[in-house]
Amino acid sequence: MSNGWVLPDEVLRDAPAYTPRSYELADLELLLAGAYAPLTGFLHRADLASLARRGRLVDGTPWPVPVTLEVPGDLAAGLQLDNPLHRALVITDPEGAPVAAVDVTDAWPTRDGRYGVGGTVRRLGDGGHGPFQRLRRTPEEVKSLLPPGRVLGVVADRPLHRPQLAQIAHAARTLAAHLLVLIPIAEPGPDGLPSEVLVRAVFAARDRMPPATLVAVPLTRRGDEIRDALLRAKVAAAYGVTHLLSTGEMLSGGGPRVLVPRELAYDNRDGQWRWRDDIPPRNRRLALRPDEINDLLDRGFPLPEWHTPPAVAKELTRARPPRRHRGLVVFFTGLSGSGKSTIARGVADSLRESGDRTVTLLDGDVVRRELSKGLGFGKEDRDTNIRRIGWVAAEVARHRGMALCCPIAPYAKARATARAMAQTAGAGFVLVYINTPLAVCEQRDRKGLYAKARAGQLTGMTGIDDPYEEPTDADLVIDASEVSIDEAVRAVLDHLTETGWVEPRLQPA
């Protein structure tokens, strides 16, 4: 591939535009920076077939993972691959700003009406925006800053606690190497930690490191541990790394030498981190697991100083406050007439009385009237309605409020989308399934909807001629035919209290 192609501005103005998925945008940024050298664009069919067959591109270059771009079929159909003036595709970021152009020279059907496209990329505009732009240096810029000699690379995809810092210091000292810390900034990161929080946490540990250069790179995880490690090694090598510190598999090939450190433990005798096997069992403390760290933060307990530097703990506490101070979406789902709206209102009233949380109630009927006016009750419109509710609820929770939602939400995929929106906003998500039997819901039928559906006067009624996909991932299940509304409200409040989302309250005498 060659990246020397140039098109007039008026051609690019008229070219179709497309915003790819987040991992495709991350790949694009690495391509534009030169971190995926020798690649200069998204792969063609022949390269993908060769890669799947023998782990190499058509020209024989070893490469660990597919670097691909998919677009809607109607967009691909409008490109004229045999005409250089009509095969350009403008790539935009999520805000719609142009960031690159693709010279599409290959297109092929993939799945569900989508097409893969391959071709050389070139940057448009000033290189993007967002936090920590100064850290998004190209490999050539970074290599010009590195001192001669060995370079120890560390991919800091999680905050650095004392065990990791001790391993880094030992490796840098042993190798007499300069330290290069690569901070992955592609979302979502491990444990749902926003990229800007990860950057701040790594910087908070900088005074505990040897002399270091820090770089932000949009590396994403692809679900294959070995391939992920191989790709990281490739990118690290592009930035000038000669030795890569890793806790994964030893890798072979043309990249940096990968070092797998021995496990450390804290020595109670003198407060130092040493090789685990060098410390008697009665005197050692093992490093905390990520889930143990998150549990301490969720419950509002301080991270122990023997394990985490105070500056790092401060950043993590700011980003992951105790659950009672964090945003939350409580999503009630169930059939029409199940009691979910009544129960949600009772929960909202109780929380407002206590003043523990700022509460927003998104009732299904009110949302239909105000936010989703004009939508019907077909599957596509129902999904759109839930996406809108999920987005508003996530924004409420992003600012540490509590959103109570009570739509029918009959489809599992739409409910999963609402959960993902909340988690992306750094908030919690509690799914409450009001599992009241259909027969009881029909008996209540205060709106007369079931009667109309049974009489054939109404179609698309959930539970009658439209399915309700029962949740398999509910955090709480309540049958409102077996308990009173007050008991159901108390069950929800008890669950929120037990899981730390609401402060325990003293009962009046």
| Residue numbering of the annotated binding site for ATP | 334-341
DSSP bridge pairs for 353: none
Give the list of residues 6+ apart from residue 501 with CB closer than 8 angstroms, or none.
Answer: 323, 324, 326, 328, 402, 428, 430
Token pair belonging to 425: 């906003």
- How would you class 502 by CB atoms within 10 Å of its CB: exposed for 0-12, middle for 13-18, buried for 19 or more? buried
* DSSP conformational letter for 281: G
Residue 54, number of CB atoms within 10 A of its CB = 10
Q: What residue has token string 């037990």?
A: 498
Q: Give how far the C-alpha of residue 206 lies from the chain's centroid of Cα atoms, to the nearest Å.
A: 25
Q: Give how far the C-alpha of residue 37 lies from the chain's centroid of Cα atoms, to the nearest Å.
A: 26
- Could you tell me what percentage of the chain is helix, strand and coil, using 3-state DSSP and rounding each to the nearest 5? 40, 20, 40
Q: In sequence order, what E strands does 230-348 have?
A: 243-245, 257-259, 264-267, 272-275, 284-286, 328-333
Q: DSSP secondary structure string, 244-259?
A: EE-SS----SSSPEEE
Binding-site residues from annotation: 334-341
